[in-house]
Amino acid sequence: MLQGRVIQWEAEKTSLQRMLVRTCLASEGQAAELDLLLNELRKDLRKDSLDLVKWRTLQDQIDRQIALLDEPAVASSAALSTPVSSPISAAPPQPAAAAGDDNDLGNNQQRLRIARRVGQLLGQLLQQVTLEPGADAEARQLQQSLLKSEDWEELREGLNRVAELVIAAVTRGQRDFEAFLKRLDERLQSLRQHFQDQSSAQAGRLDASVELDREIQQELAQIGHQVQSSHELAGLKQSVTRHLQSIGGAVRRFREQESEREKNLSHQLEAMQEKLAAVEANSEKMQERIREERARALIDLLTQLPNREAWQERLAFEYNRWQRYRHPLTIAVLDIDLFKRVNDSYGHIAGDRVLQLVARELRDRLRNTDFIARFGGEEFVLLLPETPCAAAEGVLNEMRGHIAQLPFHFRGEPVTVTFSAGVAEFGDGDTEEAVFDRADRALYAAKDGGRNQVRLASARG
């Protein structure tokens, strides 16, 4: 159970860190000082331990910088906020701010986009992290506010509450972990007491046996002495009879004490069996929980594909298998072309939707023995066992043509989505890193060669 709680805590911590990093990236570009603070926060998130006191200080500083965004913008800011057109789609023209407005309209639109994005990330967070009932209800209400409200004051307060909820979730995880350790210590103490009682009972049994032996030896010695010194048969008979009765009484007392000890021991053993049965049941639940948490920890939240950690595990497994049998094994690295333009032109919701659809189509068109994972951003990685490089190229080109024909539509406009890929096959003397690097270089060659194509890496180098 301890390991299960640790895994759950790590999974929740990872989800919280991922949300904060995405929020920071989504919030960049508002002000130079704010960007520095967000960069400092991201550096903290990469550390193994979290300094909650420093986080609260950063939160206060970030709050002040956000408050400064509400001050009247200089006249040149409107020009800086004009969207840049892209080959995929030009962003719809924004109405100019009316003279005398307190806030620049372009900045307000950007803030609304940030709030909407944080609302989406908060929804994803709630699927992965368990909050207290009150905090969970507040988080869901806060999510709806971030997704729908047009009032910047309300949105700003909501963004502040997101940070507080993250801190509350971290603190709750620590409290739960401490409570679990306390319960575990109590159960171990109970079992320890049972063992001590059994040890005491065994010591009592040995002491009673020694005492019985002493009494019998003493009585027998007295009988022997009286036999030797007695001159009257009647008196000797009486003396022997008394000593035999004394010995019988000692044996009877020993048996009664032994029976009582055995009864107590039987009760203790029954209690221990119940405790051990409870521990076994908890162990089974813990193992199931570990499996569930492990599976969740290896799944990418957005695409539901295996994540980078799962990729490393599967790559190591297939590499070891390849070393044993030397059957063909190929790596492919895919990257969606011009993905940033989708985000810039249509927003992060559209970008997320592209990632989800592409991930689903790629996964559905692979064999059960193949493996696909989201490596990061808009990049995916594939393992193709029993597949030489030339055959893998054909598979990737078929996928590429299928993705290019998917009917993506944003704001009523058809948008073509393509990807580029690099493919490399394992050969003698190769390591996992060497083959991946060759596939990655082949991907960049495909990008440089005009995108929407598959390139094969050279055998070595």
41 and 166 Cβ atoms separated by less than 8 Å? no
The answer to whether residue 193 is domain-embedded is no
Judge if 347 and 451 occupy the same domain.
Answer: yes
Give residue 372's pLDDT: 98
The answer to whether residue 301 is domain-embedded is no
Judge if 66 and 147 occupy the same domain.
Answer: yes
Judge if 341 and 436 occupy the same domain.
Answer: yes
**Residue range 141-152: average pLDDT?**
80
Characterize the bridge pairing of strands 329-336 and 379-385: antiparallel
Characterize the bridge pairing of strands 419-425 and 454-456: parallel
Q: How far apart are CA 244 and CA 238, in angstroms?
A: 10
268-317 per-position pLDDT tens digit: 778 777 877 777 777 777 777 777 777 778 999 899 999 999 999 999 99
Tell me how many domains the chain contains. 3
Judge if 343 and 450 occupy the same domain.
Answer: yes
Judge if 47 and 122 occupy the same domain.
Answer: yes
Give residue 36's pLDDT: 78
User: Quick one: how many helices (H) and strands (E) in the chain?
Assistant: 13, 7
pLDDT higher than threshold 70 for residue 20: no
Q: How far apart are CA 247 and CA 211, in angstroms?
A: 12
**Residue given tokens 């048996």 in the structure block:** 255
33-86 per-position pLDDT tens digit: 777 777 777 677 666 566 667 777 777 777 777 766 655 443 333 333 333 333
**Residue given tokens 């490399």 in the structure block:** 424
| Domain boundary residue, one of 249, 275, 296 | 296
Q: Which of the given ranges, 112-116, 258-262, 340-344, 388-392, has the highest pLDDT on average?
A: 388-392
Judge if 285 and 335 occupy the same domain.
Answer: no
290 and 5 Cβ atoms separated by less than 8 Å? no
Question: Which of 176-185, 243-252, 308-317, 430-439 has the lowest average pLDDT?
Answer: 176-185
Q: Which of the given ranges, 77-81, 117-121, 213-217, 361-365, has the highest pLDDT on average?
A: 361-365
**Residue range 128-149: average pLDDT?**
76
303 and 355 Cβ atoms separated by less than 8 Å? yes
Judge if 110 and 222 occupy the same domain.
Answer: no
> Model confidence at 105, in pLDDT bands (50, 70, 90)?
very low
The answer to whether residue 155 is domain-embedded is yes
Q: How far apart are CA 207 and CA 195, in angstroms?
A: 18
Q: Say which residue, 145 or 14, is predicted with more confidence.
A: 145
178 contact partners, CB below 8 Å, separation of at least 6 = none
* Tokens found for residue 237: 């008979």
365-419 per-position pLDDT tens digit: 999 999 999 998 999 999 999 999 999 999 999 999 999 999 888 888 888 999 9
* Tokens found for residue 354: 């592209």
- Residue among 123, 111, 122, 121 nearest 149 (CA): 111
Give residue 366's pLDDT: 96
Q: Which of the given ranges, 9-23, 197-211, 229-243, 420-434, has the highest pLDDT on average?
A: 420-434
Give residue 101's pLDDT: 44
Determine phi and psi for 337, rounding to 5 degrees: -75, 135
Which residues form the domain of 342? 308-456
The answer to whether residue 451 is domain-embedded is yes
Q: How far apart are CA 209 and CA 206, in angstroms?
A: 5
Question: Which of 127-136, 324-333, 425-434 has the lowest average pLDDT?
Answer: 127-136
Give residue 74's pLDDT: 38
pTM over 0.85: no
Judge if 273 and 412 occupy the same domain.
Answer: no
Characterize the bridge pairing of strands 329-336 and 371-376: unpaired
The answer to whether residue 26 is domain-embedded is yes
Judge if 141 and 95 occupy the same domain.
Answer: yes
Catalytic residue (choose from 12, 219, 378, 425): 378
Judge if 15 and 160 occupy the same domain.
Answer: yes
DSSP letter for 299, please: B
* Tokens found for residue 163: 């940070």
**Residue range 5-31: average pLDDT?**
61
pLDDT cut 70: percent of the chain above it: 69
The answer to whether residue 51 is domain-embedded is yes
420 burial type by CB count under 10 A (0-12 exposed, 13-18 middle, 19+ buried): buried
| Domain boundary residue, one of 180, 210, 225 | 180
Characterize the bridge pairing of strands 379-385 and 408-410: unpaired
423 burial type by CB count under 10 A (0-12 exposed, 13-18 middle, 19+ buried): buried
Contacts 24+ apart (CB under 8 A), 54-59: 55/163, 55/167, 56/167, 59/160, 59/163
Q: How far apart are CA 388 and CA 196, in angstroms?
A: 65
| Domain boundary residue, one of 296, 319, 341 | 296
378 is catalytic: yes
260 contact partners, CB below 8 Å, separation of at least 6 = none
Q: How far apart are CA 325 and CA 446, in angstroms?
A: 31
| DSSP H or E segment with residue 195 | helix 152-229
* Tokens found for residue 115: 């709030």
| DSSP H or E segment with residue 423 | strand 419-425
Q: How far apart are CA 412 and CA 401, in angstroms?
A: 23
Judge if 344 and 383 occupy the same domain.
Answer: yes
287 contact partners, CB below 8 Å, separation of at least 6 = 4
- Residue among 425, 421, 427, 461 nearest 445 (CA): 421
Give residue 103's pLDDT: 45
| DSSP H or E segment with residue 170 | helix 152-229
Q: What is the CATH classification number for the domain harbouring 411?
A: 3.30.70.270
The answer to whether residue 189 is domain-embedded is no
Characterize the bridge pairing of strands 408-410 and 413-415: antiparallel
218-243 per-position pLDDT tens digit: 777 777 676 666 667 677 677 777 77
Q: For all residues of the chain together, what is the average pLDDT?
A: 77
pLDDT higher than threshold 60 for residue 89: no
Judge if 22 and 142 occupy the same domain.
Answer: yes
Question: Which of 99-113, 186-200, 250-264 has the lowest average pLDDT?
Answer: 99-113
The answer to whether residue 141 is domain-embedded is yes
187-216 per-position pLDDT tens digit: 667 766 766 776 676 677 667 777 777 777
| DSSP H or E segment with residue 329 | strand 329-336
